[in-house]
Amino acid sequence: MSHTYSMPQFLRVREVDERKSRPFQRRLHVTTDFIKRLSLEKELDGHTGCVNCLEWDASGRKLASASDDFLVIIWDPFTYRRLQTIQTGHHGNIFSVKFMPETNGEIIVTGAGDHEVRVHNIVCKETTRVCTCHSGRVKRLATAPVMNDVFWSAAEDGLIRQFDLRLPHSCLRNEQTVLIDLRTYSGETTEAKCLAVNPMKPELLAVGANDPYIRIYDRRMIKLVKSPIASSSIYEDNVPPGCVQHFVPGHIACRKNSTENDIHEYSATYVAFGPNGNELLVNLGSEQIYLYDINTNMTSLLVRLTNDNRELKEPLKGYCMNGINSTSSDLSSRNKPTLPEHINSLKLGGNSFFEKKCYSVAIRIYNQAIAQHPDSSVLYSNRAAAYMKREWCGDTYAALRDCITALNYDPKNVKAYFRLTRCLFDLAWYDEAKLTLHSFKQHFPSHAKLLACRALERDILTKLESLDDSMDDSGELDFASDISPKESEWREKAKDYRLRFYGHCNTTTDIKEANFFGSDGEFIVAGSDDGSIFFWDRKTTNNIRILRGDSSIVNCVQPHPTCCLLATSGIEHRIRLWSPRSEHGLEDQLEILERDEVAETNQRRMQADPFDVVLMNMGLNAVIDNTDPIGATYGCRTS
C-alpha cells in the first residue's frame, strides 16, 4: 500500500479486497507514530446547532451525530456522505445517541433535554417508542454488546432506568423501570450525569453524578422498582449490600471539614470502561481525568493514615502507588543503588529543569524514567518535589502518593519522609503531619534540629492551636446533608485512582468526554474548554499531542472501534474526522506545539473564580446567552 493513502482510502481498499484485511488491521493499529501524524481528514456539515454526541455502530461503517437542532444524522464517514437525516421529535437538545447492538445499525435510541427517551427505526423511518418517565434532562444512554433489546438511561432526576424493547411499555402506568435512584442514598439534589456498561462484564454499570464519586453497580443484584411518588420523599432502597463500589480521587474524598456543597463543586462528565473491562476512565469536571483499576482495593492514603491512628514506624507499609503491593523490606531489597545510565540521564535532565523552575517539563521527564524503571525511590521522591512546587489541582496529593512509594522502596529516603510530612500539612491533615514529623525525628535524629524541620513543626503546632474546638478532626467527611448511612459507608470505602491525566480544562460543559484510544487502550483522548483535543500516552501519563478541534469547546471524542480514526465535535455545528496523514505530509497547521503553556493556562482557568470563568466564556451563546431559547432552556450546564 502507498504511504500516501488516507484513512478512508485504506478502508475502501479493504472493502474491495478482504484478503488485505489482516495486514490492514496491523497497519492501522493506533501507535505513537500515528497519534503524532493525526491530521484533519474531513469536516462534515449538516447540523445547525452544537453537536452534543457522536456514536459509531458496531462495525464502524456508520457514524451517528445528534445536536441542539433536534436532528440525528447518519453518516458514511469513509465517503463523507450523509446517509439519512432523522427528525427525532425531540424538542430539547439531544445529549445522547446510541445504536442498538446487533441490529445492523437499524435501531437507534436518543435522550434529550426535554426529559424524553426515543427509539427510532431508521429503515422504516419512524419513531417506535417514546418514554417520558424521566422528570429531568436525559444526559446519557448506555447499551451492552451482547444485549440486543436492553438499554439504560441516566437523567438529572437522579434515576438510572432500564428499558427492554421486547416488553410493552407505558409511562402512565409507572412501570418498574428504575434500576438505581441516587437520591435514595445521596440526597435530593443528586443528578445522574453519565453512565457506561462494562464491555467484558455487562452486569457492571458505572454511574457518574454531580459529585466526584463514581459508582459501579452489579445490576444482577438489583431488582427494578417503580418511580417514587412525586409528593413523597420516601424512596425504595433496592441496592443490597455488596453490589456497589465507589471510586474517588483521594485528595477530594479526604478534604477536612468538607460540606456537601463542596462535593457538588465537582461533576463527572463522562465515564468509559477500558477494552479489557478492568479499568474505568473518568473525566471529572473542575478537575482532571482519572483512571481506576476496578479490581484492586486501593483506598485513599489519607483514610489509611487516619485509620492507622498510631505513630507510624514505616509510613503505610506495603502501600505502593505504582500498583505493587508488598512489604517495605521486599521492595527495598530490590532497590538498586545506582540507576542504569539512560535512566540516570533522564533523572539528571529532570533535575536540571526542576532547578530552572520548569516543573511540568521535569515531571514529564521523571514520568518517562519511572515508566522504564519503576522501582527507584529517588525518581518518585524527585517527582514529588516537582509536584509540590507546581501546585496544580491534585498535585500535592500526587506528591504524597509518590513519597509513600519512595519510602516503600527505600525507608531511609530522608527527603521523601520529610516531603511526606510537608504534603500532609499542605493538605490540612495537621494531626497526621504532627504524627509523621515525630516519626521522622525519631528515624533521622540528625535532621531534627535543622531549620526546615523546626519551621515545619512550628507551623503544624500553630495550625493545631488555632483550630476551633467544634471542628471535626475525626477524618470523616463533615457533611450536614441528607446522605444515607449506607452512602456514607460506601464513600468511606471508596477506591483511589491509579493514574491521572492533566492539561485539559473541563469547567464549562457537563458532557465533555474522555476515551481510551487503541485496541488495548494505549492512549487517552479528551476534549477541552479551550477548543483543543488532548492525547496522552497511557503508560507515562504524558501529553503527547494537542490539536485545535473547535473554535470554542471540544466535547465529544469518539475513536473508531477498529482503526486509527477519530471523530470529534463541540460548540461548532460540524463534525471533524481525524486520521494519520502521510509520513511525508506537511506539518499540521492545527497542532498546538506549546503543550506546557497550554496546560498551565488551563490549570489557571480551572482554579479561577467562577465569575471570571463566566466572563471568559461570554462568547459561548449556546451556554449562557439567555436570548437563545434553546441554549438558555436546554443547553449544557457548567460542570
Distance in angstroms (rounded) separating the CA atoms of residues 300 and 188: 27
Distance in angstroms (rounded) separating the CA atoms of residues 112 and 91: 8
Place of cell 436532528: 71
Distance in angstroms (rounded) separating the CA atoms of residues 461 and 267: 35
Q: What cell does 197 get?
A: 456498561
The domains found in the chain, sorted by start residue, are 26-305+496-595 (2.130.10.10), 315-326+337-467 (1.25.40.10)
Q: Average pLDDT in the 310-325 region? A: 47
Give me the pLDDT at residue 305, please.
64
- What pLDDT band is residue 501 in, cutting at 50, 70 and 90? very high
Contact (CB, 8 A) for 388 and 426: yes
Q: What cell does 58 get?
A: 458496531
- Count other Cβ atoms within 10 Å, centred on residue 506: 29
Task: State what percent of residues in the chain have pLDDT above 90.
Answer: 74
User: Residue 493: pLDDT above 50?
Assistant: yes
Partnered with residue 94 across adjacent β-strands are 112
Contact (CB, 8 A) for 97 and 55: yes
Q: What cell does 67 get?
A: 445536536
Give me the pLDDT at residue 4, please.
43
User: Residue 64: pLDDT above 60?
Assistant: yes
Give me the pLDDT at residue 482, please.
78
User: Residue 314: pLDDT above 70?
Assistant: no
Residue pLDDT, tens place only, 506-539: 999 999 999 999 999 999 999 999 999 999 999 9
Q: Average pLDDT in the 101-120 region? A: 95
Contacts of 27 (CB under 8 A, 6+ apart): 1, 10
DSSP 414-428: HHHHHHHHHHHHHTT
User: Terminus-to-terminus CA distance in the chain, angstroms?
Assistant: 45
3-state DSSP assignment of residue 307: helix
More confident residue, 367 or 624: 367
The residue type of 420 is L
Residue pLDDT, tens place only, 436-452: 999 999 999 999 999 99
Give me the pLDDT at residue 504, please.
98
Q: Average pLDDT in the 123-150 region? A: 96
Give me the pLDDT at residue 401, please.
95
User: Residue 285: pLDDT above 70?
Assistant: yes
More confident residue, 615 or 44: 44
User: Residue 625: pLDDT above 50?
Assistant: no
User: Residue 77: pLDDT above 90?
Assistant: yes
Contacts of 584 (CB under 8 A, 6+ apart): 3, 4
Burial (0-12, 13-18, 19+ Cβ within 10 Å), 103: middle
Q: Which of 619, 604, 609 is nearest to 551 (CA)?
A: 619
Task: State what percent of residues in the chain have pLDDT above 70.
Answer: 80
Contact (CB, 8 A) for 457 and 437: yes
User: Residue 361: pLDDT above 50?
Assistant: yes
Distance in angstroms (rounded) separating the CA atoms of residues 211 and 209: 5
Place of cell 476551633: 468
Measured in degrees and rounded to the nearest 5, phi and psi for residue 559 equal -70, 145
Residue pLDDT, tens place only, 164-213: 999 999 998 899 999 999 999 999 999 999 999 999 999 999 999 999 99
Measured in degrees and rounded to the nearest 5, phi and psi for residue 183 equal -65, -25
Q: Average pLDDT in the 485-501 region? A: 95
User: Residue 60: pLDDT above 60?
Assistant: yes
User: Residue 3: pLDDT above 50?
Assistant: no
DSSP 423-477: HHHHTT-HHHHHHHHHHHHHH-GGGTTSHHHHHHHHHHHHHHHHS-TTS--SSS-
Question: Measuring CA to CA, how many Å separate 2 from each of 5, 10, 42?
Answer: 6, 10, 20
Burial (0-12, 13-18, 19+ Cβ within 10 Å), 548: middle
Residue pLDDT, tens place only, 560-616: 999 999 999 999 999 999 999 877 666 678 999 999 999 999 999 988 765 565 555
The average confidence (pLDDT) of the chain is: 87
Q: Average pLDDT in the 40-63 region? A: 97
User: Residue 472: pLDDT above 60?
Assistant: no
Give me the pLDDT at residue 311, please.
41
